[in-house]
Structure 1
Amino acid sequence: MKQKYYVNNNAQPKGDHEVHVITCPYFSMMFNRTYLGEFETCQEAVREAKKRYQKSNGCLECCKPCHTS
């Protein structure tokens, strides 16, 4: 099932931009975000986010398979 993904335009302390699904508990805390589109997997969403921010990865909470330390 496709889900709507967003990337946080504000970098994390390590410089990466996290990708979130709209249902993520942290989504409401992201005030500066860009809609990436609807995707089947977080891997697809992170690939799309990397077009904008090379250092992108998945949120530990909602995109755990795509999260990197």
Structure 2
Amino acid sequence: MKYYVNKESDKRGDHEVHKEICFWLPDPNNRIALGECANAHEAVRKAKEYYSTADGCYHCCPEAHTH
């Protein structure tokens, strides 16, 4: 599955990680491609290379959502 991280933080300061099929996936100019990942936890680890506050999307990556 392909994953992306939102360039903009949410109201808590988190940069959410989304699956490519997520309804809440940001526009292409507002996301960074993380590539193919085995699961959401791997995608969040990759996203933390860009943003220390990366977190899984509540809707598409609940297993990696921490808030």
Shorter chain as denominator, the TM-score bin is over 0.9
Equivalent residue number for residue 59 of structure 2: 61
Give the TM-score of the pair, scaled to structure 2.
0.94
CA offsets per residue over residues 32-56 of structure 1, 9 Å max, x none? 0000010111000000000000000
AA of the residue aligned to 1:16 = D
Count of matched residue positions in the alignment of Structure 1 and Structure 2: 65
SS class of match (2:8): coil
**RMSD (CA atoms):** 0.6
Identity of aligned residues (%): 46
Which aligned runs of 4 or more in structure 1 are off by greater than 4 angstroms? none
Cα distance in 2, alignment partners of residues 25 and 68 from structure 1: 20
Give the TM-score of the pair, scaled to structure 1.
0.91
Structure 2 gaps, min length 5: none
Structure 1 gaps, min length 5: none
User: C-alpha displacement at 1:25, in angstroms?
Assistant: 1.1
